[in-house]
């Protein structure tokens, strides 16, 4: 094998050992193999969702549908009052959770990062400590609080419950994101007469966008996929979220489960998550790495 060359700092060409190519090839093959393991269930669900109902359980199974069909998606809307009509409820819960979480966590993270006040570290540790409490253990107190606020069995009440679960991690991420902004930049803006509000909105917040994207993605995914709290806090069927309504598909009618419709429902729940991840992937990775090294 002929060795290739690379330029060193002095501009001279140095040979690249053939073993480097071997290790790179091993890493690439291992990466494709691991990716295939994780992606295969997703690809299989998407493929089954476009098969005809009779082909879904055919033996031997085919990865590529023999005849592409939207019949499973049409069947999905005939279960109960129609599963597709509950997509709007899930979107309302997910988007509402993202908006309220960002409205609270961004200024809170900025305050913990840029201000000093008595008991600051104790308060921040107390917020982080709530991340270790299983959310199932506080469902009953939260339900009683919502009853007092007359928000029980409402989508707005469930949004507040989801925000409660998201805030500790979100404040932690936003504080780290604001800590990464160079102090010299902030001091320069202060010398130029920038107000505190202007500092946060025009100077630090644009540089903290990876943290904002990370918080938005976590809040959306967790609220979009959440099942237990939605099942407990919502009692009227027209307010159910998509994961709760999919239970009707998994239990079937008179014991008969429509596997094709179930695969279509799973695919439907994945689409917003995949689109959001693709849109925010660049910011998400940067924000996650920044939070991990703090």
Q: Residue 289: which pLDDT band, with cuts at 50, 70 and 90?
A: low
Q: pLDDT at residue 254 above 50? A: yes
Same domain (yes/no): 39, 173: no
Domain boundary among 36, 53, 72: 72
DSSP tag of 270:
H
Domain boundary among 54, 72, 90: 72
Query: Distance between CA 156 and CA 251 in Å, rounded?
Result: 28
Does residue 1 belong to any structural domain of this protein?
no
Neighbours of 166 (CB within 10 A): 23
Domain total of the chain: 2
Strands 5-7, 13-15: pairing is: antiparallel
Query: Distance between CA 201 and CA 190 in Å, rounded?
Result: 13
- The residue-averaged pLDDT of 18-35 equals 87
Does residue 190 belong to any structural domain of this protein?
yes
Domain region containing 107: 81-251
Does residue 274 belong to any structural domain of this protein?
no
Q: What number of CA atoms fall less than 13 Å from residue 222's CA on the CB side?
A: 23
Q: pLDDT at residue 122 above 80? A: yes
Same domain (yes/no): 50, 91: no
What CATH number is given to the structural domain containing 104?
1.10.3720.10
Same domain (yes/no): 177, 205: yes
> Range with the lowest mean pLDDT among 109-113, 116-120, 133-137, 254-258?
254-258
């Amino acid at each position: 094998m002929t060795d290739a060359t690379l330029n060193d700092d002095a501009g001279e060409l140095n040979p690249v050992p053939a073993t480097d190519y071997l290790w790179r090839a091993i890493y690439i093959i291992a990466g494709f193999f691991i990716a295939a393991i994780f992606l295969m269930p997703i690809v299989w669900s998407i493929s089954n969702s476009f098969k005809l109902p009779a082909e879904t359980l055919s033996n031997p199974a085919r990865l590529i549908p023999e005849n592409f069909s939207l019949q499973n998606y049409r069947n999905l809307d005939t279960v109960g009052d129609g599963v597709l009509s509950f997509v709007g409820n899930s979107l309302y819960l997910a988007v509402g959770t993202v908006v309220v979480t960002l409205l609270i966590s961004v200024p809170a993270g900025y305050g913990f990062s840029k201000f000093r006040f008595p008991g600051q570290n104790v308060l921040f540790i107390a917020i982080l400590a709530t991340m270790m409490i299983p959310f199932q253990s506080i469902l009953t107190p939260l339900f009683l609080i919502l009853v007092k606020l007359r928000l029980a069995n409402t989508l707005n009440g469930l949004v507040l419950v989801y925000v409660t679960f998201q805030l500790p991690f979100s404040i932690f991420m936003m504080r780290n994101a604001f800590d990464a902004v160079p102090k010299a930049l902030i001091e320069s803006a202060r010398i130029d007469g920038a107000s505190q509000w202007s500092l946060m909105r025009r100077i630090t917040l644009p540089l903290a966008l990876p943290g904002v994207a990370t918080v938005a993605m976590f809040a959306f995914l967790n609220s979009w996929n959440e099942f237990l709290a939605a099942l407990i806090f919502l009692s009227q069927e027209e307010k159910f979220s998509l994961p709760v309504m999919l239970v009707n598909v998994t239990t079937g009618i008179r014991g008969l489960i429509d596997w094709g419709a179930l695969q279509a429902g799973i695919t439907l729940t994945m689409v917003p998550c995949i689109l959001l991840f693709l849109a925010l992937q660049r910011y998400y990775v940067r924000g996650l790495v920044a939070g991990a090294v703090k």
